[in-house]
Amino acid sequence: MKFIKTDLKDAYLIELEMRGDDRGFFARSMCRDEFSEVGLDSNFVQQNTSFSAQRGTLRGMHFQRAPFGEDKLVRCISGAIVDVIVDIRKDSPTYLKHQMFELTSRNRLQLYVPKGFAHSFMTLEDNVEVSYLVTAPYTPASEDGLRYSDEELGIDWPLPVTVISEKDDSWPLLKDRQEALY
């Protein structure tokens, strides 16, 4: 695997190193030792799958408040998404900065999202499936999120939002929050 630093502190884009022959290819998508060499947590305890039927579906921006934060390893296994992460760690030099990544079943890129980041994705095609590993179990009481359309974040989504949950469309704006994000 090739670990590519992003513009956001501690987040990585991961490119698979494919070994191919006339049968196809083989690639490692997670290796504890390789993750450890880069300083990334690979103690994944849960795998989640998300399917979205319509292009323009937006999921997120989700995070779990401390101490229940989770690292994620995200991969689009069918179709294409734009994945957006926002650093919400108050003491980080990239606090409230975001970055956008195109993850597709064709490019096979993965995104490592550290604790203290809000995570969201938008489908670029119909019938998209996303799989991600997490380092902590889901804890409903610590669930939180950012509003995808918050002007303070300045995210320029590539498509109009066609499908979004009521919860994701109603997360509080940054200006209305009293407590620290993470």
- Active site residue: 62, 98, 119, 182, which one? 62
Q: Known catalytic residue: 132?
A: yes
Spatial CB neighbours of 74, under 8 Å, sequence gap ≥ 6: 83, 103, 110, 111, 113, 119, 121, 130, 131, 132
Burial class from Cβ neighbours inside 10 Å (0-12, 13-18, 19+) for residue 158 reads exposed
Q: Known catalytic residue: 98?
A: no
- Active site residue: 12, 98, 112, 132, which one? 132
- Short-list 92, 66, 81, 28, CA closest to 144: 66
For 110, the token pair is: 């993965």
Residues taking part in catalysis: 62, 132
